[in-house]
Amino acid sequence: MNHVPRPVHPRRLQHRRSRNGCLTCKRRKVRCNEEKPLCYHCRRLHLDCLWKDLDVDSQQLSQSDAGEKTLEQPSPTEFFDFTQSIDTIPDIFLPVFSDFAPDLNLQDEVLLGNPSPSPSVDIHNGEALQVDIPPILDPIENGPKGTSVQALLNSLARSSSMVRHSMAAFAVVRASPSDTTGDFQAYYEKAASRLSQRCQEPSGTRIDGGDELRYSLATIFFLTYADLLTGRLDLAYSNLAWAHRAIQVTGTSTLGSIEQRILSWIRLLDARAAAAGGEGLLINDTIHCPPTPTSTSAGSTPRIPDATPDCGSQDVIYDMLCQPGIAFYQQVQTITGRITRIAHIHRSRGSVEDETEVMAIAANILHDLGILYDRRPALMDYAVSGNISALAEPLASGIIRSFQTYLANFYACYIHLHRVAHRHLARSAAVDTALEKIKEILHLMVAKNESIPVNMLWPLFLWGSEEDDPGECRWILTTIQGLHHVASNSSMAAGALGEIQRRQREAGGRVDIRSVCLELFNTTFAIV
């Protein structure tokens, strides 16, 4: 298992021409997947997908070519010109994932429990609005806190049409990830347009404290989540930067418990965006991003009446037990951001001076990981092993699930750091331990028929990038594919990982994850 890898240079990107693609893709000079009657890019961008009729005579062909020049373009919006904005991001072409992972057995999906159904929003009826908890919030808002966050989301949606439209856009993407047209575009534009009226470039922001800040942060959370799921990373980075500026301008003294809570949600997205190439402004800013408050914090109810129901004893106990774990998890997110910043996409690499500096930074990160582990919550070891029988259900299962997620993401930092800073070296003892711990936690979840939270996708992916056993590799790919109910881009993640595993087997060493994603999809993507 502890083989010595040799550095592998990524293969040069080779484009395969699309000879029978639609006229729209030919005009836009992008590769068409040739799917009729509506190809992938035209469906994604809501464009007219026009095709050349191969059976007509040359005169009709000429007319078709002439007509190609007058294709109707989507109208601009107040906030984004969607065609222009999305065209600045490299087009994503989705290959057939069975080419990379032919042995996936999706029948194993029954082991993943019963994931939550796709969220839905009744945009026309604010009083009857019901918003499901977004999957990425699972490790910090599950168990008894689920009732609290559900009430908060519904209250936010009733109080602000901007938030309501952002929730609707997210709900449409969750229900149909490949359909970024129609209702999604309309909802997204309305929320983004109202948000843009509150934010000014480049001087900062007009978002004030109180309700305005709360509604803006909630809108940024849902719009950013939708952007990450649809692969529009530039828009996600822009929204995250707005959130960071808003917090800087308003100051931490104006943040109530609800604003701090929503900010902790955005930081989860920022960590995933940073791994895909973002700046990680929020996870790296410990001054302007205070710890997550408990759902029972004083002052949370007065700011939004009836947002949080009366807390029972289980809610209080859950907060007391889980709050140290959430703080631990937030520190893990910050370390993830530090690792990302020494990757070649954020700084120069290759020279002796560069690599010496990176090694020094990596040593500091390893030291801080050791300190963080020594200071882990006292309950963590018992919870991760499932040894908290003194607590009744469902309190016990919620705590176990949360702490397992926190610790798996902690161990993922060792693998992430090694692939970024020490890719040419054999695995260290710490990395081998991390792989075994993540493997143990994932198998424990599945053995107990627990549904795997979306926040386990990152540790699962990194474990898969270092696993040598073919059986485990197939299990990992099957498990990732089975997360499609909570992770809309799980198929992309499984396809990329399958190709990474294949290339590493052939080359006998590590390949760069980002380079493989660029070759497969012409872009990177956030694993959410």
Please tell me the distance from the alpha carbon of residue 38 to that of residue 32, in angstroms, as a whole number: 10
CA-atom Rg of the chain in angstroms: 24
Q: Output the pLDDT for position 319.
A: 79
Residues 169 and 35 in one domain: no
Q: Output the pLDDT for position 491.
A: 87
Q: Confidence band (pLDDT; 50, 70, 90) for 71?
A: very low
Point out the domain boundary residue: 279, 295, 311: 295
| Domain of residue 30, residue span | 18-48
Residues 157 and 287 in one domain: yes
Q: Output the pLDDT for position 180.
A: 60
* Residue 43 falls inside a structural domain: yes
Please tell me the distance from the alpha carbon of residue 425 to that of residue 4, in angstroms, as a whole number: 7
- pLDDT greater than 90 at residue 286: no
Q: Output the pLDDT for position 113.
A: 35
Q: Output the pLDDT for position 351.
A: 93
Residues 6+ apart with CB under 8 A from 412: 336, 434, 438, 458, 459, 462, 463
Compute CA distances 186 → 55, 128, 160, 173, 193, whole Å: 38, 21, 17, 12, 11
Q: Output the pLDDT for position 203.
A: 44
Lowest mean pLDDT among 30-44, 242-256, 318-332, 383-397: 30-44
* Residue 173 falls inside a structural domain: yes
Query: 266: which 2 tokens?
Result: 């955005």
* Residue 226 falls inside a structural domain: yes
* Residue 194 falls inside a structural domain: yes
User: What helix, strand, coil percent values describe the chain, rounded to 5?
Assistant: 60, 0, 40
- pLDDT greater than 70 at residue 295: no
Contact 220, 195 (CB under 8 A): yes
Residues 6+ apart with CB under 8 A from 129: 121, 122, 154, 157, 158, 164
Q: Output the pLDDT for position 44.
A: 66
Residues 170 and 287 in one domain: yes
Residues 6+ apart with CB under 8 A from 326: 139, 140, 264, 291, 292, 402, 406
Cα dihedral sign, 456-461-359-350: negative
Cα dihedral sign, 313-317-323-329: negative
Cis peptide before 202 (omega within 30 of 0): yes
Q: Confidence band (pLDDT; 50, 70, 90) for 287?
A: low
- pLDDT greater than 80 at residue 312: no
Point out the domain boundary residue: 271, 295, 319: 295
- pLDDT greater than 50 at residue 298: no
- pLDDT greater than 50 at residue 223: yes
Please tell me the distance from the alpha carbon of residue 105 to that of residue 477, in angstroms, as a whole number: 9
Residues 282 and 163 in one domain: yes
Please tell me the distance from the alpha carbon of residue 112 to that of residue 131, in angstroms, as a whole number: 23
Contact 224, 170 (CB under 8 A): no
User: Is the entire prediction scored with pTM above 0.85?
Assistant: no
Please tell me the distance from the alpha carbon of residue 437 to that of residue 504, in angstroms, as a whole number: 22
Q: Confidence band (pLDDT; 50, 70, 90) for 467?
A: very high
In this structure, which amino acid lies at residue 292? T
- pLDDT greater than 60 at residue 253: yes
* Residue 148 falls inside a structural domain: yes
Residues 173 and 31 in one domain: no
Please tell me the distance from the alpha carbon of residue 405 to that of residue 308, in angstroms, as a whole number: 25
- Give tens-digit pLDDT for 193-213: 999 887 754 444 455 556 889
> What are residue 205's DSSP bridge partners?
199
Please tell me the distance from the alpha carbon of residue 25 to that of residue 49, in angstroms, as a whole number: 8
Report helix, strand or coil for 205: strand
- Helix pair 313-340, 257-275: axis angle to 10 deg: 40
Query: 392: which 2 tokens?
Result: 């009744």
Q: Output the pLDDT for position 117.
A: 41
Q: Confidence band (pLDDT; 50, 70, 90) for 39?
A: confident
- pLDDT greater than 80 at residue 4: no
Nearest to 190 by CA among 248, 121, 258: 121
Residues 6+ apart with CB under 8 A from 122: 128, 129, 130
- Give percent of the chain above pLDDT 70: 71
Report helix, strand or coil for 378: coil
- Give tens-digit pLDDT for 468-520: 999 999 999 999 999 988 887 888 899 999 999 999 999 999 999 988 988 88
- Give percent of the chain above pLDDT 90: 42
Nearest to 101 by CA among 422, 458, 362, 473: 473
Q: Output the pLDDT for position 297.
A: 38
Q: Output the pLDDT for position 130.
A: 62
Please tell me the distance from the alpha carbon of residue 170 to that of residue 164, in angstroms, as a whole number: 10
Point out the domain boundary residue: 254, 275, 295: 295
Residues 179 and 31 in one domain: no
Q: How many domains does the chain have?
A: 2
Considering the chain, what is the average pLDDT of its residues?
Answer: 77
* Stated length of the chain: 528
* Residue 177 falls inside a structural domain: yes
* Residue 31 falls inside a structural domain: yes
Chain centre distance of CA 115: 17
> What are residue 200's DSSP bridge partners?
204
Q: Confidence band (pLDDT; 50, 70, 90) for 181?
A: low
Q: Confidence band (pLDDT; 50, 70, 90) for 52?
A: confident
Q: Output the pLDDT for position 76.
A: 33
Q: What is the mean pLDDT of residues 65-93?
A: 37
In this structure, which amino acid lies at residue 394? P
Please tell me the distance from the alpha carbon of residue 470 to that of residue 468, in angstroms, as a whole number: 6
Q: Confidence band (pLDDT; 50, 70, 90) for 145?
A: confident
HSE-up of 196 (CA within 13 Å, CB side)?
A: 12
Compute CA distances 269 → 136, 177, 272, 418, 511, whole Å: 8, 17, 5, 23, 26
* Residue 352 falls inside a structural domain: no
Please tell me the distance from the alpha carbon of residue 445 to that of residue 79, in angstroms, as a whole number: 43
- Helix pair 457-466, 429-447: axis angle to 10 deg: 130
Q: Confidence band (pLDDT; 50, 70, 90) for 182?
A: low
- pLDDT greater than 70 at residue 300: no
